Amino acid sequence: MTTPVKTAMQQFINAYLTAAGKTGKKFPTVEFDPEWLSECQKDTVDTDGRVGWRPVEQRQHVDFNGLENALELQIHPDIKEYYGSFWSGSLEATCDEGHVSLIQLWNPQDFDRLIANLIGHALVKKRLKQSFTVFFANTEPDSEYFLSIDNETGAVLLEAPGLPPRKSVEACLSDFIKRLKPCLEPSGIH
pLDDT per residue as tens digits for the range 42-65: 878 888 888 888 999 999 889 999
Estimate to the nearest angstrom the gap between the alpha carbon of 25 and the chain centroid: 22
> Does pLDDT of 24 surpass 70?
no
> Does pLDDT of 186 surpass 60?
no
> Does pLDDT of 189 surpass 50?
no
Reduce the DSSP state of residue 90 to 3 states and report it: coil
Distance between CA 64 and CA 118 in Å, rounded? 11
The answer to whether the beta carbons of residues 119 and 135 sit under 8 Å apart is no
As a whole number, the mean pLDDT across the chain is 89
b/e string for 107-141 if b means 16 or more Cβ within 10 A?
A: eeebbeebbeebeebbeebeeeeeebbbbbbbbbe
For residue 2, what pLDDT band results from cuts at 50, 70 and 90?
low
Instruction: Convert the pLDDT of each residue in 27-47 to its tens digit.
Output: 778 899 989 999 999 878 888
> Does pLDDT of 23 surpass 80?
no
> Does pLDDT of 94 surpass 80?
yes
Distance between CA 125 and CA 167 in Å, rounded? 17
> Does pLDDT of 108 surpass 50?
yes
Sign of CA dihedral 112, 117, 120, 125: negative
To the nearest whole percent, how much of the chain has pLDDT over 90? 67
Instruction: Convert the pLDDT of each residue in 120-176 to its tens digit.
Output: 999 999 999 999 999 999 988 788 899 999 999 999 999 988 888 899 999 999 999
Nearest to 19 by CA among 59, 54, 49, 67: 54
Q: Could you confirm whether domain 4-182 is CATH 3.40.1580.20? A: yes
